[in-house]
Amino acid sequence: MIVDTHVHLFAEASDARFPIHANAPYAAAVPALPRQVLSFMDQAGIAGAVLVHPETYQDDHRWLLHTLAIDPKRFRGVCHLFPDRAETPEKIAELARFPGMAGMRLHAYCPERLPSFEPKSLTRFWTLARDNGLFLQLHLEPRYAPVFTPLLQRFPEVVVLIDHCGRPFQGTLEEFQEIRGWARFPQVHMKLSLLPFRNQYPHRDIGPVVQDLATQFGIKRILYGGGYPCASPQEWTAHVERFLDLLGRLGPEEKSLILGDNAARILKWDLTG
């Protein structure tokens, strides 16, 4: 069973129901639509997909809710909200009631669009995740990691997923040590997504990093993600195969855990029926 825990979908640019947000940092070059992803999933053997709300839409979740409703059995959703906004508690409570909503994402990435690091705001954000039964998906550059360590200590009951290996190549080795050290918190899981090739910037080998993270966090806290958008189901399958190759020699049980069983357990997601 394979679960991709990091899938972005994008509406047609001409679809007025789902406009690109005025503060969007980027727009997708081509749409990535739910019917296509379901077709690719069938052909590539992907049992479930976690739909991560793109920054393209900021805190407007009409597109995410639309896509979740198309297949609430095979899709789970992660919303995107801001810790310091007055309307955030009400929005989280509303979104958490929607079938398939599983988590909320926090970005601490790019200096020009950082969230508030004020302790009261972040404490409220973690509290809202806990009280609404959502996990927290943390997308960050290593230099910002120390801000979040006290929250991981204070809220052991809130499951946290770290995006994109913690972006190890966007910080110094010393800065990344803070994220590696989060392995001491049992509720923190590492998502091995956005795995660059050696011939791409920053021209470094990601293999030793993913193997080290698997050792630090343990096989039961490693998650697969990031094979879609892609041009074909074969490309998605190739992504899964490269992911496994980068991890090195794994037994059948370890592969099952990393590729899908861990995600299904964390999300309490029955994909066997």
What is the per-residue pLDDT across 189-246, written as a single tens digit (0 to 9) for each?
999 999 999 888 888 999 999 999 999 999 999 999 999 999 999 999 999 999 999 9
Helix (H, G, I), strand (E, B) or coil at 57: helix
Q: Which two tokens stand for residue 78?
A: 């992660």
Domains and CATH numbers, the chain: 2-266 (3.20.20.140)
Residue closest to 226 by CA, chosen among 235, 217, 218:
235
**pLDDT value of residue 199:** 87
What are 140's strand-pairing partners?
Answer: 108
**pLDDT value of residue 201:** 80
**pLDDT value of residue 60:** 97
**pLDDT value of residue 179:** 98
Q: Which two tokens stand for residue 269?
A: 């997601």
**pLDDT value of residue 169:** 95
Residues in the chain: 273
Answer whether 98's CB lies under 8 Å from 73's CB: no
Cα–Cα distance for residue pair 127/119, rounded to 1 Å: 12
Answer whether 2's CB lies under 8 Å from 47's CB: yes
* Consecutive H or E run containing 231: none
**Percentage above 70 pLDDT, the chain:** 100
Nearest-10 crossing angle of helices 119-131, 88-96: 20
Q: How does DSSP assign 106-154, residue by residue?
A: EEE-SGGG-----HHHHHHHHHHHHHTT-EEEEEE-GGGGGGTHHHHHH
Measure the CA angle with vertex 261, ends 70 and 151; round to 5°. Answer: 90
Cα–Cα distance for residue pair 204/121, rounded to 1 Å: 36
pTM over 0.85: yes
Q: What is the mean pLDDT of the chain?
A: 96
The alpha carbon of residue 271 and the mean position of all alpha carbons in its chain are separated, in whole angstroms, by 19
pLDDT tens track for 123-180: 999 999 999 999 999 999 999 999 999 999 999 999 999 999 999 999 999 999 999 9
**pLDDT value of residue 113:** 87
**pLDDT value of residue 112:** 87
The whole-number average pLDDT for the span 85-111 is 96
Residue closest to 4 by CA, chosen among 99, 86, 100, 74:
74
Answer whether 27's CB lies under 8 Å from 56's CB: yes
Q: Which two tokens stand for residue 115?
A: 């969230």
**pLDDT value of residue 168:** 96
Specify the residue for token string 């592969």: 255
**pLDDT value of residue 96:** 98
**pLDDT value of residue 202:** 80
**pLDDT value of residue 229:** 93
Cα–Cα distance for residue pair 195/197, rounded to 1 Å: 7
pLDDT higher than threshold 80 for residue 273:
no
pLDDT tens track for 75-91: 999 999 999 999 999 99
DSSP letter for 32, please: B
